[in-house]
Amino acid sequence: MAGQTYRERPPAARLAALVATTWVQRIPAGEPAYAQRHLPTGGVELRCRVGDVPRLAGTLTGPHVELLPPGTTVVGLRLRPGALAAILARPVADLTGQVIDAGEVWGTTMSVAAGERVAAATTDEAAVGALEALVAAAAARTGATAPEPLLAEAARRLLPWHAAEVRAVGADLFVSERGFRRHCLAGVGIGPKALQRVLRFQGFLAMTQAVASGADPSGDGLARLAVDAGYADQAHLTRECVRLTGVTPRVFLRGVEETCACGHDHSASFRPLLREAELAGSFKNAARGAPSLAS
């Protein structure tokens, strides 16, 4: 896997309320094909292989493995939960787990033009900017500037460090349990319980990225991080990890160590989560031990 890279960057400031992160991934010519494991994040992704048209990948509920051939460059951005529904001004539940041409929702002309701009770009910034311009143009059509406020606040409150029950979050937002589920399905593509599950695992991954370079002689690093990330115990983490990634935490994290050491940068995704965790006081225990999680 030497030579393949994945580097995230924050979105343009004008799109920060709609877009969580952008990235460029490269599989050099002459290297083996790369099995990219896409994981649920709670957001829809806009991806474009250089030389092709952009595609929309709906919200995931489980892992999806995509084989990237040698010589492939992928430019992408991840929308925040609820952002695509705001941009399209319609429910997005029909896109859950699906990958479609962006032209199916934004028209062939806009989609093809964006793909051509990505292919013609001479820098990573210009390639990402072509996709951001597509999102900005689509948002301008409906006047969308951010996800529905209820969904944005729900996504914040469902982060693991707030430790709130889904029913309590809905009640605090003055919406019935059934209404809360209906809002999440229409705006995010999954129900609130599934969204909480995904956000909890993303929080766990953010913590592991921050502490995985050290060593924990007590051997309890994974169990401690599981609790810090909002899981009842390590067994709870294992069940959820298998559901969301297809493998156990140690197998998954061993793979993360192998791939990310070859040139992966996920900081644009994880840094905001870690800031939230630190503000909530949920990261202090994990920060103490710096465990080696894949050993």
**Are 285 and 175 found together in one domain?**
yes
pLDDT digits (tens, 9 = 90+) for 13-54: 999 999 999 999 999 998 899 999 999 999 999 999 999 999
294 within domain boundaries: no
Q: In the chain, how many domains are there?
A: 2
198 within domain boundaries: yes
pLDDT confidence of 220, banded at 50, 70, 90?
Answer: low
79 within domain boundaries: yes
Domain that holds residue 18: 5-142
- Grouping H, G, I as helix, E, B as strand and the rest as coil, residue 124 is helix
Residues whose CB is less than 8 angstroms from the CB of residue 14 and which lie 6 or more positions away in sequence, other chains included: 136
CA dihedral sign, ordered 237, 274, 7, 16? positive
**Are 217 and 112 found together in one domain?**
no
What CATH code is carried by the domain that includes residue 133?
2.60.120
Angle in degrees, CA 55, 115, 61, rounded to 5: 15
Residue 273: the pLDDT is 87
Residue 216: the pLDDT is 40
124 within domain boundaries: yes
Question: 116 vs 131, 134, 216, CA distance in Å?
Answer: 11, 12, 49
pTM of the entire structure? 0.89
User: In which residue are the tokens 């990958």 written?
Assistant: 99
pLDDT digits (tens, 9 = 90+) for 237-280: 999 999 999 999 999 988 887 776 666 788 889 888 888 887 77
Average pLDDT of the chain is 89
Short-list 290, 14, 17, CA closest to 152: 17
Last residue of a domain, one of 109, 142, 175: 142
pLDDT confidence of 217, banded at 50, 70, 90?
Answer: very low
Residues whose CB is less than 8 angstroms from the CB of residue 235 and which lie 6 or more positions away in sequence, other chains included: none
d(CA 277, CA 284): 9
